[in-house]
Amino acid sequence: MSMTATRWLMHAPGQPFAAAGFEPVPGPGEVVVAIAGCGVCHTDLGFFYDGVRINHALPLCLGHEVSGQVVAAGPGAETWLGKAVIVPAVIPCGDCDACRRSKETICPNQKMPGNDLQGGFASHIVVPARGLCPVELPALQAAGLDLAAVSVVADAVTTPYQAVTQAGVQTGDLVIVNGVGGVGGYCAQIARAFGATVVAIDVSDEKLAPMADGIAGLTLNARQVSGRELKGAISEFARQRGLRHRSDWIIFECSGTRAGQEAAFGLLNHGATLAVVGFTMDKVEIRLSNIMAFHARALGNWGCAPRLYPDALAMVLDGRVQVGRFIEKHPLDDINRVFPAVHTGEIKRRAVLVPSPAAKSLTSVTRSSAHGH
Ligand SMILES: [Zn+2]
Ligand SMILES: [Zn+2]
């Protein structure tokens, strides 16, 4: 007896997703995850609305921010059976030159669900077991969270976690996060957990409000304060707090907009670090020589190495990084309503698509048969 599953396929950019049945079969080293939740990422919108190139041929199921439970395992992956897991958004091969040098995020053989593989806007997903992050359900429950809520750890939390780690943020640093929706909001919380004092910048007061509530020491609306004034306001704040006010700022550009990137570049000072976390197809006009003159550095960041996931998850479980108030769950069956609502900004929090209870009960019915398969 086989397992029946459903996934929502993108046949062409901008055209409604269509549900399709499939039979999830794990190959060697692979598992089938019954999906608890899958977050809708800016990157999904790019694929769907902006024609950003997709590696896999269409039709493809998008979605790379997945949590769930392993319900079937291929040869060599049996130890994962029954475990609750987070699927890394970028799954490196583990064997190549880059992986051996701990540069997994540039692994040329990496697989991204919803880009290289059929993704997570589905009842089930088939993924390599390598790199899965186990989730202890009692700890999750103690934190007042469910498995669907921590789907955002797959990308929105771990991507800034890697960026903050890579930038070497530590106690006493002044960190500026530009763009505090989704990824940026987590970036601010993680930087604070690493001991930094955080300045949050956005063009939306609605996104700045939760930052002002115990996360950022200063919030600035870039529609009201910009350019030299912005730099001056941050400098004055740093001076008042006894932090470095003229050098060594660590700036995380998370807005993924041209205006945001230009503003972030304008905040460079001596010894500064600019971490580019957000993505846009737009080009910006900057004086690159400022990096030279300021002896500054710019760092890029693609996903997060799976070995860092347990530490990022630990921050969520012990409350240093809050996720509950920054997400909202919607039924997966509403995907054709949720995507436009996220795109237009009607949905402001991270939307997590949750497969219907019918799909989940199907999972429990077929679990034993999948095992004997
Ligand atoms: Zn993403
Ligand atoms: Zn590799």
- pLDDT tens readout for residues 295-325: 999 999 899 999 999 999 999 999 999 999 9
Average pLDDT, the chain: 94
DSSP state of 282: -
Do 223 and 204 meet the contact criterion of CB atoms below 8 Å apart?
no
Note the pLDDT tens digit of each residue in 268-292.
999 999 999 998 889 999 999 999 9
Predicted pLDDT at 358: 59
In degrees rounded to 5, what are phi and psi of residue 36? -90, -40
3-state secondary structure of 4: coil
Cβ neighbours, 10 Å, residue 358? 11
Q: What is the mean pLDDT of residues 159-188?
A: 96
pLDDT at 4: 87
98 alpha carbon, closest ligand = 2
How far is C-alpha 174 from the chain's CA centre? 23
pTM over 0.75: yes
Ligand 1 centre to CA of 221 (Å) is 25
pLDDT per position as a tens digit, 350-362? 999 999 975 554 4
Q: What is the mean pLDDT of residues 147-168?
A: 97
Q: What is the pLDDT of residue 348?
A: 87
Q: How far is the CA of 101 from the centre of ligand 2 (A)?
A: 9
pLDDT bin (cut points 50, 70, 90) of residue 68 is very high
Say how many Å lie between the CA of residue 156 and the centre of ligand 1. Answer: 7
Share of the chain above pLDDT 70, in %: 95
The amino acid sitting at 229 is E
Q: Which ligand is nearest to the CA of 159?
A: 1
Q: What is the model's pLDDT at position 2?
A: 62
CA of 131, nearest ligand number: 2
